[in-house]
C-alpha cells in the first residue's frame, strides 16, 4: 500500500466536499493495510479516523479505536516515539470532544512525557500539543491555564513562517480563551490577527468557521449584536460547507438564536419567519419578471414540515430546513409560465440568515414553483374528479371530507400565505381552513364518541377483568388519543400529526380541563391488584369502584357531555357517550 497516495485521495475527498464518502474510504484502506501487515499505514489511517469521527459527532466509533491504538503501537515497539505521542494527542482530542475530560488530560500528559524525551523544546509539535491542551482547559473552565498554554504555542509557531494555518488557529483559540476570561480587548486583538490570516488566502480552510464563530462570541460578549449576528451567519455557512451539520454547527445556531433575541427578533430563525423574510427580500424579482400574472400567483409556506406548523426548533434544523417558499400556480399557469418562474426561483440566493436553501425533494416538493392541482391531489389523495371539483368550487364534496384524515387537511391549511390571498390557491386555502362542513363535523363527532366509548368506557374494564393488562393499556391509550381528537373537532380545528397533537391542543379554546385530565391519565398505569379480588364470573355485571382510572374515564366523559350540551348537540346528560350519537346524527 502506498500510504501517501491514500492520503492524497483523502485530501481530494475533502477538497471535493465529499465528506459522506470519507469514512468508507478510510475504513476500506485500513482493512487493506491490516491484511497486508502495513503497521505504519494502519496507524496513520486510524489516526485519520480519530480526527474524522469527532468532527462528525461519531464519538462511540472514535473511542472504540482509542482503546486499541496505543496497545497496537506498543506491540509494534513504537511506545517511545514521536508517532506514539501524536497518537496520544489524537486520543486526548477524542476524549475531550466526547466529554471524558480527565481521560483527555491523562493522555495529554503522556504526550509531554514522550516529547520531553525525544524533541527540542521549540519543536513545532509542541505548538500543536499546547493548542490542543488549551482546548481541554477551556472545557474544564480553567481559562487562565488555557491562555497560558496558547501563548506558549504562539511563541513556537511564530518561529515557523510557513505555518500560516497553525498561526491562525492559535490566535483563534487564544481569542476564545480571552473571551471566557472576560478580557475582550485582548480577545478582539487576537481574533483580528486570526481573521487577517484566514481572509487573506484561507477562507476555504475548515478552521475558518471556528475563527468566525469566536469573532461572533467576542461581539456578543461586547453587546455588539448586529456584528455578532453577521459573524455567526458566516460561521454557519462555512462550517456546513466544509464539515457538514455537526454539534459545532448547532452550537453556532444556538448562539445566533440568542443574538436574535437580544436584537428583539426572537422568531427570526423560525422556519415560517425565515421563509417570509426570504420571500420579501426577493419579491421584486418575480414582480418584475411576470407582472402580467402577478395577481394570480400565491407565495406561501404551506405543507409538510414542522416549520409549516410553527413547531420547529433547533432539532428541526438537522434536515430539509432553510430559506424557501412555495409559488403556487394552476396547471394552466405552469404550462405558460412555469419555466420562467422556476428559473427565477432557482436564481435566488443560496443562503439567507446563515442557512442554505434546502435541497429539492423529488415527487414531494416543499419549496419552489408548485402546481396546486398536484399539491392538493398528492397530500389529499384526490382523484381527477375531486381535483376538478376543488378547482371549480374551492372546497371538497362531503363524501371526500368524510374519507380524509385530519392530518391531510391540516397539512394543506397550515403555515401562511405571504402574498396572493385572493388567488385560486388562497381561496381554496381559506375555505378548507374553515373546517368541516357542519353535517360532516357532526358525523365525525358521532364516530369519535363511539370510539371513545368503546375503547375507554367498555373495552378497558373488560380487559382488566380478564387480567389482560397489556390489552387494557392499549385501549386506554386509544381512548386518550380519541379524546384529544374530539377536542380538536369540537373546536373546529383539524388534528395535526400525532406527534404534535398534545402540544397543539394547548392552543384550543374549549376543553382545556379535559386535556389536563387526559395528561394526568397518560402518567398512570393500570393496576391489576383490585381485579384479583374476584374471578371473571363474579365480575360479570359489576364495575370495579376501586379502579381510579375508571373514575377518571367517567370524569372525562362527563365533561365531554358538558361540551356537547354547550354546543346544543345533545339533549341527554348520560355519561355513557354512545347515548349521544343519535342526537348528533339527527341534528339539523
Domain boundaries of the chain, sorted by first residue: 3-203, 204-266, 271-433, 438-586
What is the chain's alpha carbon radius of gyration, rounded to the nearest angstrom? 32
The average confidence (pLDDT) of the chain is 92
Confidence of residue 494 (pLDDT cuts 50, 70, 90): very high
pLDDT of residue 534: 81
pLDDT of residue 468: 93
pLDDT of residue 212: 96
Start-to-end C-alpha separation, the chain = 84
Report d(CA 216, CA 227) in Å as an integer.
7
Higher-pLDDT residue of 320 and 585 is 585
Instruction: Identify the CATH homologous superfamily for domain 3-203.
Output: Tetratricopeptide repeat domain (1.25.40.10)
Per residue in 152-206, pLDDT (tens digit) is 999 999 999 999 999 999 999 999 999 999 999 999 999 999 999 999 988 888 8
Q: Is the pLDDT of residue 22 over 60?
A: yes
Set of cell numbers at residue 263: 436584537
Residue 347 to residues 241, 298, 342, 384, Cα–Cα distance (Å):
19, 19, 8, 33
pLDDT of residue 587: 54
Report d(CA 198, CA 207) in Å as an integer.
9
Percentage of the chain surpassing pLDDT 70?
Answer: 100
Indicate the pairing of strand 326-329 with strand 351-352: unpaired
Residue 431 to residues 389, 396, 421, 563, Cα–Cα distance (Å):
13, 9, 12, 25
Per residue in 73-128, pLDDT (tens digit) is 888 888 889 988 988 998 998 999 889 999 999 999 999 999 999 999 899 999 98
Per residue in 24-54, pLDDT (tens digit) is 888 888 888 788 888 878 888 887 888 888 8
pLDDT of residue 588: 45
Residue 311 to residues 263, 272, 507, Cα–Cα distance (Å):
22, 10, 13
Per residue in 413-443, pLDDT (tens digit) is 999 999 999 999 999 999 999 999 999 999 9
Other residues' Cβ atoms within 10 Å of the Cβ of residue 360 = 13
How many residues are there in the chain? 588
Environment class of residue 321 by beta-carbon count within 10 Å: exposed (0-12), middle (13-18) or buried (19+)?
buried
Q: Is the pLDDT of residue 548 over 50?
A: yes
pLDDT of residue 15: 79
pLDDT of residue 392: 97
Q: Does pTM top 0.95 for this prediction?
A: no
**Cβ pair 302, 414 in contact under 8 A:** yes
Indicate the pairing of strand 368-371 with strand 326-329: parallel
Higher-pLDDT residue of 8 and 493 is 493
Report d(CA 246, CA 92) in Å as an integer.
20
Lowest-pLDDT range of 279-283, 426-430, 538-542: 538-542
Amino acid at each position: 500500500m502506498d500510504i501517501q497516495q491514500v492520503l492524497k485521495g483523502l485530501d481530494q475527498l475533502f477538497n471535493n466536499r465529499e465528506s459522506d464518502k470519507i469514512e468508507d474510504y478510510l475504513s476500506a484502506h485500513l482493512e487493506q493495510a491490516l491484511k497486508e501487515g502495513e503497521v505504519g499505514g494502519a496507524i496513520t489511517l486510524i489516526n485519520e479516523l480519530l480526527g474524522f469521527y469527532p468532527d462528525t459527532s461519531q464519538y462511540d466509533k472514535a473511542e472504540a479505536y482509542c482503546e486499541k491504538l496505543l496497545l497496537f503501537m506498543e506491540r509494534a515497539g513504537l511506545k517511545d516515539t514521536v508517532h506514539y505521542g501524536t497518537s496520544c494527542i489524537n486520543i486526548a482530542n477524542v476524549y475531550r470532544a466526547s466529554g471524558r475530560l480527565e481521560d483527555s488530560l491523562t493522555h495529554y500528559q503522556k504526550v509531554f512525557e514522550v516529547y520531553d524525551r525525544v524533541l527540542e523544546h521549540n519543536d513545532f509539535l509542541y505548538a500543536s500539543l499546547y493548542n490542543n491542551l488549551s482546548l481541554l482547559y477551556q472545557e474544564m473552565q480553567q481559562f487562565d491555564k488555557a491562555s497560558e498554554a496558547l501563548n506558549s504555542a504562539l511563541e513556537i509557531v511564530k518561529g515557523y513562517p510557513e505555518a500560516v494555518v497553525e498561526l491562525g488557529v492559535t490566535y483563534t483559540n487564544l481569542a476564545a480563551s480571552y473571551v471566557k476570561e472576560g478580557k475582550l480587548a485582548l480577545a478582539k486583538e487576537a481574533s483580528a490577527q486570526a481573521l487577517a490570516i484566514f481572509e487573506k488566502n484561507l477562507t476555504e480552510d475548515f478552521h475558518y468557521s471556528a475563527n468566525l464563530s469566536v469573532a461572533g462570541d467576542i461581539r456578543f460578549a461586547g453587546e455588539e449584536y448586529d456584528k455578532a449576528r453577521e459573524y455567526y451567519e458566516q460561521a454557519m455557512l462555512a462550517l456546513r460547507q466544509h464539515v457538514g451539520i455537526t454539534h459545532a454547527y448547532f452550537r453556532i445556531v444556538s448562539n445566533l438564536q440568542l443574538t436574535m433575541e437580544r436584537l428583539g427578533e426572537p422568531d427570526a430563525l423560525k422556519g415560517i419567519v425565515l421563509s417570509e423574510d426570504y420571500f420579501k427580500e426577493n419579491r421584486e424579482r418575480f414582480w418584475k419578471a411576470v407582472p402580467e400574472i402577478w395577481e394570480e400567483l400565491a407565495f406561501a409556506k404551506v405543507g409538510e414540515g414542522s416549520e409549516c406548523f410553527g413547531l420547529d426548533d433547533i432539532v428541526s434544523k438537522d434536515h430539509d430546513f432553510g430559506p424557501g417558499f412555495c409559488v403556487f400556480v394552476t396547471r394552466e399557469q405552469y404550462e405558460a409560465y412555469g419555466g420562467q418562474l422556476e428559473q427565477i426561483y432557482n436564481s435566488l440566493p443560496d443562503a439567507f440568515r446563515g442557512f442554505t436553501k434546502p435541497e429539492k425533494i423529488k415527487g414531494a416538493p416543499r419549496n419552489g414553483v408548485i402546481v396546486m392541482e398536484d399539491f392538493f391531489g398528492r397530500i389529499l389523495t384526490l382523484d381527477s374528479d375531486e381535483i376538478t371539483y376543488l378547482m371549480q368550487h374551492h372546497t371538497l364534496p362531503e363524501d371526500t371530507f368524510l374519507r380524509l384524515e385530519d392530518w391531510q387537511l391540516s397539512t394543506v391549511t397550515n403555515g401562511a400565505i405571504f402574498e396572493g390571498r385572493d388567488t385560486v390557491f388562497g381561496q381554496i386555502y381559506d375555505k378548507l381552513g374553515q373546517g368541516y362542513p357542519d353535517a360532516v363535523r357532526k358525523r365525525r363527532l358521532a364516530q369519535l364518541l363511539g370510539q371513545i366509548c368503546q375503547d375507554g368506557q367498555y373495552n378497558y374494564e373488560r380487559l382488566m377483568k380478564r387480567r389482560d393488562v397489556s390489552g387494557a393499556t392499549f385501549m386506554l391509550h386509544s381512548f386518550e388519543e380519541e379524546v384529544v381528537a374530539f377536542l380538536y373537532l369540537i373546536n373546529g380545528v383539524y388534528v395535526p400529526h400525532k406527534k404534535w397533537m398534545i402540544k397543539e391542543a394547548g392552543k384550543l379554546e374549549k376543553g382545556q380541563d379535559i386535556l389536563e385530565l387526559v395528561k394526568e391519565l397518560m402518567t398512570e398505569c393500570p393496576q391489576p391488584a383490585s381485579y384479583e379480588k374476584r374471578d371473571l364470573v363474579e365480575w360479570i355485571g359489576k364495575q370495579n369502584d376501586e379502579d381510579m382510572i375508571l373514575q377518571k374515564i367517567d370524569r372525562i366523559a362527563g365533561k365531554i357531555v358538558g361540551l356537547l350540551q354547550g354546543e346544543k348537540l345533545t339533549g341527554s346528560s348520560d355519561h355513557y357517550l354512545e347515548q349521544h350519537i343519535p342526537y348528533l346524527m339527527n341534528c339539523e
